[in-house]
Every structure is written in C-alpha cells, then in structure tokens.
Amino acid sequence: MINREEVQSRIARMQSLLKDKGLDGALFIVPVDVYYFSGTRQNSVLWMPVEGEPMLLVRKSFSRAKEESVLADVRSFPASKDLPDLFSSRIKKIGMTFDAVPVHQLNYYNKVLPGCAFTDISVLNRDVRSVKSPYELEQIRRCGRALCLVFGQVPHFLKAGMREVDVAAEFEYRLRKAGNEGYIRMRAFSQELFMGLAVSAGGAASYGCFDGAVTGRGLSSASPGGSSLQIIKENEPVLIDYTGVFNGYLADMTRIFVIGRLDPDLQRAFEVSLEIQAFLQKELKPGALCEKLYQDAVEMADRAGLSKCFMGMPGEQARFVGHGVGLELDEFPVIAKGFKEPLQAGQTIAIEPKFVMPGKGAIGIENTFAVTTSGGEKLTDMPDAITFL
Amino acid sequence: MINREEVQSRIARMQSLLKDKGLDGALFIVPVDVYYFSGTRQNSVLWMPVEGEPMLLVRKSFSRAKEESVLADVRSFPASKDLPDLFSSRIKKIGMTFDAVPVHQLNYYNKVLPGCAFTDISVLNRDVRSVKSPYELEQIRRCGRALCLVFGQVPHFLKAGMREVDVAAEFEYRLRKAGNEGYIRMRAFSQELFMGLAVSAGGAASYGCFDGAVTGRGLSSASPGGSSLQIIKENEPVLIDYTGVFNGYLADMTRIFVIGRLDPDLQRAFEVSLEIQAFLQKELKPGALCEKLYQDAVEMADRAGLSKCFMGMPGEQARFVGHGVGLELDEFPVIAKGFKEPLQAGQTIAIEPKFVMPGKGAIGIENTFAVTTSGGEKLTDMPDAITFL
C-alpha cells in the first residue's frame, strides 16, 4: 500500500505544473493515472484542483476505493446532472490526459460540465510519473528480483525441440507463481503486450507491429507478436525478454540462451551490445541528454559495422535504445532522437541494445536501471552473460 | 487466415451502414477494428470509403501487413502533409469509433485533414461485429474446445492449501501450451483483464472494479482483480472463470470445483443458475429482446429468493447476465436493461448467471452460446455440473 506522504508529494508536484500552465485543476480518468495519485485503481475519476485536496469519485467499487485510497475525500460518482455541483463555478480550465482519454469520455465531460474548457496535460503527467520515489524504486527492484529468479531457472527447462510457446509457458508459469500480476499497461495507442516473449532465431528475426527491436512472430495475424509455434533449435540464440508486474510496477529484462554454439557474428554483436549498455549505464546521471545518448549508441553500433541490424529488422528498426518503465512499460524518458530533456535522478529506464540478423536471429541485452549521480543502478541484478547449455 | 470473401462481406455490411448515415467513409484506427476489416493487426489505419475498395495505411510492419491483409490497396503511412492527397476533395464526413479512439488521435486527424468533419460510429461498428460468420463461429468453437480441455484437467491439479494464484498459474500454463494467445481485448474504457481467475470463497466474495459478477481480490491495489494469495480450502466453492484467445477470437466459461462438500445454500443457488441458463439458452433465438431476457433472469433469481446476491456483491451487483464475445470480451449484444434490439442469428453471447454470498463464496455457471433459430448452441461444450473432488 502506498502511504499518504507518497501520494501527497505526487499531487504537489502535479499541482505545481498545473499552476504553471494556468489551469484550475485536472480531471484524471485513466485508471493508472488515478491509481498513481490516489493509491486505488478502482473504476473512478480523480478531480485534482490546482490547490487543496483532490476528490475521488468512484463508480465501482466504492467500498474498496475507500479502503485503499489514502485520500480524505472519496465519494460515489454522482448522477451526471449533479456533477457540476461538485465543482466551484470558478473552475473553467481543466487538464486531461488526451493521450489515453477516449473521445467519448471527453465528449461526456464537455457535455456535463458545459462551462469548462479541457486542455491536454499528457506530457505533464508523464513528466511527473517519470521520476520515481524511493518507494517506487523499491517496487521496481522487487519486480527485478522476481524476474531474475525466473531467468535463473531457464537452464532447468529450456531444451531443443520445444516450441517457442512452450518456453514462454514455462517462464510465465514460474513468474506467475512468484506473484506476477500479469496485466501490462502501456501508454502508446495501438500497442499491446502479453507479458513478454521467448523466441528462436526465426521468431526473433521477424517483422512485427510492436514498437521494439524484437517483436516475435506470435501465434496468429490477430495476435502477431510474442512467441510462436517455431521450434527451438541447437546452435541458435534463444532470446527471452519479459516484463514483470508486482504491486503495479514493472521491470523489463532480456537474456540470451544458447543450446550448443553461437555464430561468431552474433557473439561479436552481443559484445557490442554489452559495450553500448556499459557506456549508457555510466552516463545515466542527472543532466545527461537522452537524444545525445541515443546518438552515441547509434554511432557505437555504426563503428562496429552493425548499424543495419541495430534495434530491429532491416528497414523497420526501432528508433530508441531505452525506454522509461514504472507503472507503464513505455514511460518517459525515452533514449531516442527528439528527447531533449536532461535526465533526472530517480528516473528508471530499460536499456536494450539489440541486433537482429535475418537468418541468424536476434541478440542483445536488456536491464532496467535507475538514474543516479553515480550512473545507472541496475535494478535487474543478474549477470549479463549468455548462458550456454 | 481470413479469406477475401469474409472480409469483403464485413466491409459491405459496414459500407451499407455508413451510407445510411450519410457518411463519405470511415477511418478505422483501433487495432482490433483494423484487423476485423483487413485481416491484419499491424500498426495501421484503414480508410473505408462508403463505396469502393478500402485503403490500408501501414506504420509498422509494412511487409507483414502486405503479407497478411486480403485487401488490394496496402500502402505505407505517408508523411502527415501528404495524407490529404490520398483523400478525394469530395470526402467531408468521416466516421470514427469514438468509444476507443484517444482524443490525441482525433486531434491529429482533425489537423491533417482540415476539410473533414468526424462523427462517432462506435455503435455501428459494434453492431456489425456482433453478428458472426460461420468462419468466426468456428474460431470461437475452437477456443471453446481448448478451454474445455483445460477445465477437464483441473481435477488433476486442484488441491486444498494451494493459493488462488497457484491454481491460476496451473490453468494458465495449460491454456498457453494449448496455443492461447493471451492478450484479452476489451472495448469498455477502464476495464482490464489478465486471462481470467481462479478464486476461493473469500476471493470470490470480494468487491472490485471489474464490471462482472465475480471480480476477485487480485494481488495488489494496483492490480485489484483476479486471483489473490488466499488459500483454497476444503468445503468451499472454487470458481474458475477463464477467457481463451485463439486466432484473436475469445470464448468465456466458468465452472465450479469443490474439494469436499458444498453448503446447501450454495448448492441450491447453483441449481437456480442452471435453471436461468437453461431458460436463456432456449430463448437465444433471432428476435428475442435482450432487455426482456435480462428481466426474466432477474425475476427467476427473485422468485428463488436470491435477488440480493444475483450477479455480484450486495450493493455492487453487475447489471447484466450475458455479454457478447468475439474479438473482444465485451461485444454486443448485452443481456441487460436498455438493450432493446432483437437478437440476430450468429451473435455469440457468454451467459453467466452467478450468485455471490458474502462469507460463503460465489457460485454459478458460464458458457458461450451462438444465437440460432433453435436456441443457443453451446460453444463451450462440457458438462455444467460442479466437480466434487
């Protein structure tokens, strides 16, 4: 459970940004946003005035929201006609997270609060969430520990002849037994992910819709990402990339397993991915510029003669090398072009330099780090080395 | 893979509705909608003119969309400034599914297509999707068969002393090995579901945010639905409710397992749930009115003296007894008040009369049925009886 001070500090940071933007308050309706600012993820809406106590309006379950939330003002969601009575007539400008709010919902609030104008605060929301408190860092560490324990068990079950989905089932089973909550939240429109993936060379070197280096072939054109029915073979890299969810917080990591020997080109690319990771880990300090870090990573891949297979299949390469993680898998900051904001202490970033070689498979590394004054603190703390079986 | 005739028939049905509404076409941007009308779920947008061939504009992966889609016109998503060139200047009124389109996205299309006005077609879209073709019915049957095979294995692994999440892990492992795709799509804003749940009496008789009879306690306030760490005991109902996903299509079913004996009140309530299901199955014929069926089900529960525990915890009962399933878990039609449209042959509905008794647990049944002229065809075909271990 989140304590009251934690939530109050989050609210204060958001209220300060709302004030800078000249807003009278913000209406949070996306569940993960409501959870972050209230401590409960029930079906509810959070009104946060620019000053003073927020008000949680609950559709279902009221009793559970009351039990879980650290906010003082928790009420049942009123009839639409009574909603305006809850808002002072001085409230005119209201922020909302347009990145994840459906048009239907905005239209509803426009209709029932006719004197109010709604403004996008998606970026403010993501900025506040990007910096983690010590409590949040501990949640991500806990998730990292659970992931590492399952990664450590892979040598006990991975065998040639298994289908990718069999390996996935074994991994997911152990992660679930460890208390994994399962449902992975993503912010980006059109992105969906089921826990993670275990892929053979063929499955890894596939085109896909997921905005990542390795998408997997998936089980059908309706669910075209993740593990497929392809068979795991000897002498190829098996890439296992999973996201855990514990107490709502995610960590993300990837390790490579090989039954037999590895192609020397892949081995060399793996070493380059470790070099890029080591460079970025050293640089994950407050003040570093994401855009610059991305450019440096691209140049390292280029100098190694691997730019054509860096971060994805030829022609459809992902254009980032790290992404924020927290309550969602795609938080700020992103180590990518266009991200000009300096890093801040407490931001948590999955760094994942990977290379995809058609016909040979995918290779690379991924760990979740916290930004600190002495560089990235590894929150997914197990050896990076390829496991040879 | 979906064949071309299947997709053409879907498009023709939607185009006819667009014409009735006086629209020049529709822009589908929600992945599941794009999949339904194109055969591919890549990161792409589908322009469907009111007459003629649709055009699929693909962000990622182009090669995979081209390979999977049965549409003739598949292109790369253009630069924003070039988007208007793809649309005839006669195009003015465009439909969009405002129920699931984020405000950001609508604002983007408003900006790049300045001469166009966007209108909500959420209900038309859900109406078209609600009626399944023979191909779709076969996908749901296949999903139902896989679910039944796993339900049939429950007696091999369910034991007193297991945590709910252990039972969930065993169920999910077997479903995944059977080829379950995992990611469950839902239409309703704010609803999230990870595969399903296995719950003890205590976990079942809990309040929660999920819009269903039994939500489960979940593993944290951040993920407050589904299986929890509660221990499965003897002489209580263990309710197992899972959704499978095969080739994108869902089926939904629930069975009850008891280690030992069952409280007579629960046994009696179970018999009432079977009576309600039998009544509804008989009535699932073209022309029946959902609202009337719901009212009849409520009256049956009432006559049995069970209205206070019908479909949920006291005071927070779900107000439906059946929901459409297909590519999403919450499709049309809904067997609920306010649904006045007559049933149509080929609609697929999960019927789930359940009773929740605080202190005793939850009991009931759920099967997925197709509407046919001779009543509901059971697509999750295994015995309904409680399994006593």
Task: Output the 3-class SS for A315-343.
Answer: CCCCCEEEEECCCCCCEEEEEECCCCCEC
Q: How far apart are CA A181 and CA A92, in angstroms?
A: 39
- Please calculate the CA angle A320-A322-A326 and round it to the nearest 5 degrees: 130
Pick the residue from chain B with its C-alpha nearest to A228.
B179
Superfamily of domain B4-129: Creatinase/prolidase N-terminal domain (3.40.350.10)
DSSP B80: G
Name the residue of chain B whose CA is nearest to A76's CA: B316
Distance CA A156, CA A225 (A): 25
**Residue A82, both tokens:** 């009574």
Distance from CA of B238 to the nearest CA of A (A): 18
Q: What is the pLDDT of residues A99-147, one digit of tens each?
A: 999 999 999 999 999 999 999 999 999 999 999 999 999 999 999 999 9
B146, B175 in Cβ contact below 8 A?
yes
Mean pLDDT on B138-157: 98
Cβ of B1 under 8 Å from any chain A Cβ? yes
Torsion of CA A42, A44, A49, A54, to 10 degrees: -40
Q: Which of residues 99-158 of A touch B (CB under 8 A)?
A: 99-107, 120, 122
Contact flag A221-B41 (C-beta cutoff 8 Å): yes
Q: How far apart are the first and last CA of chain B?
A: 41
User: Residue B297 has what pLDDT?
Assistant: 98
DSSP label at residue B318? -
**CA gap B191, B204 in Å, rounded:** 18
Between CA A259 and CA A51 the distance in angstroms is 60
Q: State which residue of chain B sits closest to A120, comparing Cα positions.
A: B104
Nearest C-alpha neighbor of A290 from the set B19, A298, A98, B34: A298
Does the pLDDT value for residue B1 go beyond 90? Answer: no
Alpha-carbon span B239 to B221, nearest angstrom? 21
Q: Is A181 on the interface with B (CB under 8 A)?
A: yes
To test the contact with chain B by mutation, choose from A61, A229, A245 the residue with the greatest count of B C-beta atoms within 10 A, namely A61
Query: CB neighbours of B315 closer than 8 A, spacing ≥ 6?
Result: none
**For chain A, first and last CA: distance in Å?**
41
Residue type, A313: M
Q: Looking at the whole model, is its pTM more than 0.90?
A: yes
Judge whether B4-129 and B131-388 match in fold: no
CB-based contact, A79 to chain B, within 8 Å = no
Q: B68 and A221: CB-CB below 8 Å?
A: yes
Task: Find the mean pLDDT for residues A156-171.
Answer: 98
Tens-place pLDDT, residues B312-357: 999 999 999 999 999 999 999 999 999 999 999 999 999 999 999 9
**Cβ separation of A181 and B222 shorter than 8 Å?**
yes
Angstrom distance (rounded) from CA B168 to CA B197: 6
pLDDT at A88: 86
Q: What values do phi and psi take at B40, rounded to 5?
A: -130, 140
- Tally Cβ neighbours within 10 Å of residue A53: 12
B207/A64 touch (CB, cutoff 8 Å), yes or no: yes
List the single residue in B with minimal CA-CA distance to A167.
B177
Query: Which numeric CATH code is attached to A131-388?
Result: 3.90.230.10
Average pLDDT over residues A281-302: 98
**Average model confidence (pLDDT) for chain A?**
97
Question: CB-CB: which of A2, A42, A176 is closest to B169?
Answer: A176
Map residue B119 onto helix, strand or coil. strand
**Per-residue pLDDT averaged across A319-333, rounded?**
98
- Which range has the worst mean pLDDT, B8-17, B84-93, B318-327? B84-93
Query: Is some CB atom of chain B closer than 8 A to the CB atom of A39?
Result: yes
- B41: nearest CB among A177, A185, A209: A209
Q: What is the DSSP letter of B232?
A: P
Q: What distance separates the 2 farthest-apart alpha carbons in chain A?
A: 71
| Lookup result for tokens 């339900």 | B151
Domains in chain B: boundaries: 4-129, 131-388
Q: Which tens digit of pLDDT belongs to each residue from B18-32?
A: 999 999 999 999 999
Question: In this structure, are residues A240 and A197 in contact, taking their beta carbons and an 8 Å threshold?
Answer: yes
Tell me how crowded residue B63 is: count the other CB atoms within 10 A of its CB: 16
Instruction: Tell me how far apart the alpha carbons of residues A262 and A360 are, in angstroms, rounded to a whole number.
Output: 10
Would you call A287 exposed, middle or buried from its count of C-beta atoms within 10 A (0-12, 13-18, 19+)? Answer: exposed
Closest CA to A38 of A85, A78, A73: A73
Per-residue pLDDT, B372: 98
As to burial, measured by CB atoms within 10 angstroms (0-12 exposed, 13-18 middle, 19+ buried), residue B305 is exposed
A29: tokens are 């309706």
